[in-house]
Amino acid sequence: MKELPLSKIYQLLEPGPVVLVTTLRKGHANIMTMSWHMMVEFEPPLIACVLSNANYSFAALRAARECVIAIPALKLAPKVVGIGNCSGRDVDKFKRFGLTPAPAARVAPPLVAECFANLECRVVDTRLVNKFNLFVLEVVKAWSDPAQKHPKTIHHHGYGSFAVDGEMIKLKSIKP
């Protein structure tokens, strides 16, 4: 995997793809599926996200304050949904879904080798965790897979319906 400049991160998350989130707690790496995230700042890249406090990953993120956001392309969609349909309390999801944990450089949770981008994140604000389960993260290192060119992402419309990226259009904008 190739290092990705932190200034480019917003271009990956701003379009609203479904992502995976890895955590590590007591030596146990877990993965969840997440769609409730947004950019908060360009650089250093800040991301807000909401994890249900019923999720096994919620406690892990709250305790360890680190995660990896991994962005899957369309071909991983069945695994992405499967990951969302079970809990790390019951299963080793890396094993069940045949995904490869790869060491991150600056955080303990693993990258997901099959994803086209991986963002190593640290929790930087927890003021809205109690009320809204909302974490603010800083991306401290990021990676992309040069072998995956123009990956199409998926966007959740509820109950397993996803819009796949279609055509790209270009309009004259003065904004990043």
Residues lying near a second copy in the complex (CB under 8 A) = 10-11, 14-17, 35-41, 46, 48-50, 77-78, 81, 84-85, 125, 127-128, 131-134, 136, 152-176
| Shortest distance in whole angstroms from residue 63 CB to a second copy | 22
Beta bridge partners of 125: 136
| Shortest distance in whole angstroms from residue 112 CB to a second copy | 18
| Shortest distance in whole angstroms from residue 173 CB to a second copy | 3
Closest CA to 20 of 65, 59, 46, 57: 57
Closest CA to 164 of 83, 72, 86: 72
Instruction: Please provide the distance, in angstroms rounded to a whole number, between the alpha carbons at the two ends of the chain.
Output: 25
| Shortest distance in whole angstroms from residue 19 CB to a second copy | 11
| Shortest distance in whole angstroms from residue 14 CB to a second copy | 5
User: Which is it for strands 2-3 and 134-144: parallel, antiparallel or unpaired?
Assistant: antiparallel
Closest CA to 89 of 133, 25, 37: 25
Cβ closest to a second copy, residue 63 vs residue 74: 74
Cβ closest to a second copy, residue 6 vs residue 39: 39
Cβ closest to a second copy, residue 24 vs residue 51: 51
Cβ closest to a second copy, residue 105 vs residue 157: 157
Cβ closest to a second copy, residue 38 vs residue 91: 38
Rounded to a whole number, what is the largest CA-CA distance in the chain? Answer: 50
